Structure 1
Amino acid sequence: MAGSATGRAQTGSQTLARGLHALMAVVESGRGMTVQDLARELDVHRSIAYRILQTLADFGLVAHGSDGAYHPGARLATLAGAYLPTLREAALPILRETADELGCTVALFVAEGREAVAIELVEPTTATHHIAFRSGMRTPLDRGAAGYALMSAGGPAADEPAQVTLARERGYATSLGEVLVGAYAVAAPVPHTHPRACVNIITHREDQAAVAEAQVVKAAQRIGQALRPVPPELPAG
């Protein structure tokens, strides 16, 4: 009996994992995926890939396009909006302002396990040439400015990278080419957040990165202030 239960659990887990793998494949493809594309991706028969995509479509997570491919569905916007809405709402106008001031892409990262994950990003409206990347980008916590900044928001650890210790001392982290070849990054931790969050800019211009340090710290501090509860007014008299 126990063996049968274990078998069902394994089957259920495999089915869920396969469905989530399919969803992520569609989202990350950038151009959508056909049934044949997904069958190759999952190494399954076309009929299985079709059933998975149809199930996802039934829930609004993917949509079948006129080009024959499946694309991200509108319901994903609802799911995305449910993730840390207070933090993202407080951060977005400040990220927009900072991106336009600096002329480069600005992102909000949070710590998730051993990774830094971009949950919001804003491209500048004041510059035509800038580095662009997508929300959901993941980088190791022990590599790159965003990871260093997030680690610096925690307590010191004996085995932490030297860049983390330095970031804790000066209030921001920097890196060069650790995530994107030839790209400079500057990141500062946002106070008063859980999970830990940071503001990160990335650029190919050294001069842009150099002047960004103070503004990235300022942006992170402003987001932290926006998150702090406003104390109630005391009654007069």
Structure 2
Amino acid sequence: MTDSGDALSASEKTLNVLAAALEHSRFTDIVSASGLAKATVHRILATLVANDFIAGDGERGYRAGPALLSLAGRAISTVDIAQVARPIVDRLVAEVDCTVHVGVATDNEIVYLIRRDATKPYQMKSRVGHGMPMHSTGMGKVVMASWPAAQVAEFAARVGLPPRTNATITTLDALDAELRRVRERGFATDLGENELGTVCVSAGIRDHTGAVTHGLSISSIALEHPGTSIEQFADAAVAAADEISRLIGAPA
């Protein structure tokens, strides 16, 4: 029987089997996913197991081995999300001609990591390294929407939900309702809640564990995007945030 992977190099075959073994635990499923002959898969798996890149066997199933997990941990620790995100942010700014931010969540705030301005004559007051309250910002709300209710309540009790403007959410009930809406829609907005006259639409960025740890926002002024019209960029924000998530190792 001819191996369907005959045209592949030995390295490519090994990578195919490794990828398949990380997606499937059963030998037959690994064979199917790799597109290689059983004998080839069996030989490559034996080599991967012997070198601790894969653990397990045909009876118990296969899984990532200690050598691979160690390499993955070292790779993840060197990821600079700002460096990964910048080309995507630059492309997004050119597409929507609005200011784009990327921020990271701390215990109480969203801290700006990236700010890229549009071609418009006005500029946002935000600056890289500056923190803003979670509950009054779009990026903060997309992060909090991924939290369990108890964590949201603890945050509200600790921070106090202080008003930034007359539109800021200042009660736990209102915050819970807003976060439910964010989860349903897949994005958040800030309609003058953090700064009068400024609006944004935001999407969450997931890390390698799937946790929402960062946010991306498309921001403008209310005079240019009145009411809820900033939501026209929601799909673009979500797509950019998902692309960044994928590049930093978020699960599919």
TM range (shorter): 0.5 to 0.7
1:73 match: none
Q: Give the C-alpha shift of residue 227 in structure 1.
A: 1.2
Structure 1's consecutive aligned runs of 4 or more residues displaced over 4 angstroms after TM superposition are: none
What amino acid maps onto 1:169 in structure 2? E
1:198 match: 215
1:180 match: 195
**Structure of higher CA gyration radius:** 2
2:115 is the alignment partner of 1:121: yes
1:137 match: 130
Q: Distance in 2 between matches of 1:84 and 1:92?
A: 16
Q: Distance in 1 between matches of 2:90 and 2:187?
A: 20
Provide structure 1 residue ranges, at least 5 long, that are not aligned to the other structure.
1-82, 231-237
Change (3 A) 1:85 1:228: closer
Query: How high is the TM-score relative to the length of structure 1?
Result: 0.55
1:99 match: 93
Summarize the alignment of residues 53-64 of structure 1 with structure 2, pairs less than 5 Å apart: none
What amino acid maps onto 2:217 in structure 1? N
Q: Distance in 1 between matches of 2:106 and 2:212?
A: 8
Q: Give the C-alpha shift of residue 121 in structure 1.
A: 1.2
Query: How high is the TM-score relative to the length of structure 2?
Result: 0.52
What amino acid maps onto 1:174 in structure 2? T
Change (3 A) 1:92 1:84: farther
Q: Which moved more, 1:138-147 or 1:211-220?
A: 138-147
Q: Distance in 1 between matches of 2:190 and 2:242?
A: 20
RMSD: 2.6
Q: Distance in 2 between matches of 1:99 and 1:198?
A: 16
Q: Give the C-alpha shift of residue 118 in structure 1.
A: 0.6
Contact persistence 2:203–2:238 (CA under 8 A): yes
Change (3 A) 1:84 1:107: farther
What fraction of aligned residue pairs are identical, expressed as a percent? 24
What amino acid maps onto 2:231 in structure 1? A
Contact persistence 2:93–2:116 (CA under 8 A): yes
Tell me the number of residue pairs that the alignment of Structure 1 and Structure 2 aligns. 147
